[in-house]
Structure 1
């Protein structure tokens, strides 16, 4: 028996594991009426699973829904190329390259290509997208973008090139972590989305239902609602940590981030329940070990705390990992320096 914390896909087999919350139908109502929606929440709050489930439902009612793994795009050009690939998967690389060459030749002399390549290439992508959408011979698609990789991409695409996006006739449903919201909130990007929706924390009843859905058995193993208020924080603290890197000052003592069973997010809940109820890990020993580790991290100072939190979020990473560098805003040498301090305490391998 296994509990899986992976994001669900937009396929029928995964929909039986999906916890359908009221926000699901509210968002579908909005995007089917051509309203651009921005969904945001903490890491592990279920944004990817929500977008995948909405994609599945939209396709089932005949909507032209396209899911994009936006985190794969390192810049606005990557994002638009990814969108082109998803909307026109049959367009060959040769056709695409020939189109690009023709586009440049018809609009600008070669002497200008080098000086304005960034803006020109972005405008080129919009021209190609316009042609692709006209070829589809259907009303504008609904594009669901999971986790735009950076504030810079959001600021440029939904701000600087906002009007170009509007002209495509696409309805957008975009998911963002709270840490990247500033890119969407900076004018003129702030008026692109008709609705901004924060994913609410799971209620106790929703936690109970989510665990029951993910248990790979017809017989329920445990009811989350039956876990005492004193036991549940000990279960979740090792998964979530005690504070986030955005907090102004680290706390002096270890405290649970939750009150009873309220406030947890799906990923932390499933991982914690899997360890306690499936693997049989002793909750008190697990909590004690975690608290000792947290105290060691706190003693090393805020930089160590920031790096530790990002490593937990990414799963594993090295100092050369560009995503880790971007999240922290640090150079490789800075990451190496702080990693050595963590390694010295036996906190990372």
Structure 2
């Protein structure tokens, strides 16, 4: 069966065969791992951060993977790391003495009580019988979370027997979190060579006839797709394969590439996020976390994208749902203009 879905890849052998064009980035993380260095991995929405971390996990089975999307507090982040280290779904906590708690509250009115946020993690590490450092792979940590964990606790985390590989949404870390990571790896958009590798791997997942059809349908449009993220590439490839009018689908991709070349970085992020999450609304928490801008800014960008013919909207209840226009099966609305210059 031809595999053209855009779900994150796992550590399985089948998914490893689908993983395209990141050998140099994996090699950089591999060398960092051998030297005991902490690594930070970043890339635009749809660049395959989760799939990349899973491939790192595949190479290092002793590593512990943790996904922090939707986690809001430092205590929850650290508890998630503790669960990964202990491989436990339940973390027993010592039952406190109620009298001690009362006296502690009274004392806090006169004295500043300092509690070590890493105390539970340190206990968990002490209970693990291993001479080597633990490797923890952290996925989907936003800039605020990265600053809170690796900035605020930087010096304390340095002292723990943990090596970190963190996939974050921010391309630039503020001090002091920036100095926690010795190696920074960027997952760049695919150029033509990487895109062709992706097509070949997906074509090989199906029958010989399906693979040949996919290659022939993509051949005339592949230069119009690159450069792009793996997620956007898969969306375009899937539309080309399914389209009833290949010429029209190719034309739409050429128009889309022209429009994207004039987009600001924010508009491009919003568009790519809607390719993945849409149809959805401007307040979707997953989308806002990924693009890293406010809801009002997303609404502004969507209005511009809609006027450019790159997204459509539909009122559903009190919300306005937006969908991207990709492929050749969605006709442009009568009288709709081409994408204006300076789209931001």
Q: What corresponds to 1:212 in structure 2?
A: 200
Equivalent position to 2:147, from 128, 150, 155: 155
1:171 aligns with 2:163: yes
321-330 or 18-27: which moved more?
Answer: 321-330
Instruction: Give the counterpart of 2:187 among 170, 193, 199.
Output: 199
Distance of 1:225 and 1:293 partners within structure 2: 18
Q: Does 1:33 align with 2:35?
A: yes
Shift of 1:309: 6.0
Residue 295 and residue 199 in structure 1: after superposition, are their counterparts in 2 closer, same or farther (change >3 A)? Answer: closer
- Give the Cα separation in 2 of the matches to 1:303 and 1:207: 23
Q: Would the alpha carbon gap of residues 117 and 81 (structure 1) be closer, same or farther in structure 2, given more than 3 Å must change?
A: farther
Tell me the SS of whatever aligns to 1:164: helix
CA distance 1:92–1:197, shift in 2 (3 Å): closer
Provide the C-alpha distance between the structure 2 equivalents of 1:341 and 1:118, rounded to a whole number of angstroms.
52
**Aligned partners of 1:68 and 1:145 also within 8 Å:** yes
Mapped to 2, the partners of 1:116 and 1:309 lie a distance apart of 51
The structure-2 alpha-carbon separation of the partners of 1:157 and 1:232, relative to structure 1 and needing over 3 Å to count, comes to same
Which ranges of structure 1 fall in alignment gaps of 5 or more residues? Answer: 237-257, 297-301
> Greater strand percent: which structure?
2
Residue 46 of structure 2 aligns to a residue in which SS? Answer: coil
- The 2-side partners of 1:72 and 1:111 are apart by 35
Which stretch has the larger CA shift, 67-76 or 317-326? 317-326
Distance in 2 (CA, whole Å) between partners of 1:152 and 1:46 is 21
Given the alignment, which residue of 62, 65, 75 partners 2:63? 65
Q: Scaled by the length of structure 1, what TM-score is found?
A: 0.69
Secondary structure of 2:166's aligned partner: strand
Q: CA RMSD in A?
A: 4.2
Q: How does 1:86-101 map to 2 (within 5 A)?
A: 86-90=84-88, 92-93=90-91, 95-96=92-93, 98=94, 101=96
Partner residue in 1 for 2:327 = none
1:140 alignment partner in structure 2:
133
Q: Which residue of 2 aligns with 1:47?
A: 49
- Does the CA contact (< 8 Å) of 1:133 and 1:140 recur in 2? no
TM-score, scaled relative to structure 2: 0.70
TM-superposed CA distance for 1:55, in Å, is 0.3
Q: CA deviation at 1:57?
A: 1.1
**Could you list the runs of 5+ residues in structure 2 that have no partner in the other structure?**
260-264, 315-344
The structure where helix makes up a greater share of residues is 1
Offset of residue 343 of structure 1: 8.8
Distance 1:15 1:289, change over 3 A: closer
- Deviating more after overlay: 13-22 vs 150-159: 13-22
Partner residue in 2 for 1:266? 230
Aligned residues: 298
Q: Does the 8 Å contact 1:9/1:53 carry over to 2?
A: yes
Query: Structure 1 residues 115 and 143, CA, compared in 2 at 3 Å: closer, same or farther?
Result: farther
Tell whether 2:278 aligns with 1:315. yes
State yes or no: 1:109 paired with 2:104: yes
Q: Does 1:328 align with 2:321?
A: no
2:175 alignment partner in structure 1: 187
How much does 1:293 deviate? 9.5
Matches within 5 A, 1:267-286: 267-277=231-241, 279-286=242-249
Q: Show CA shifts across 1:32-55 (max 9, x none).
A: 321001111111222211110110
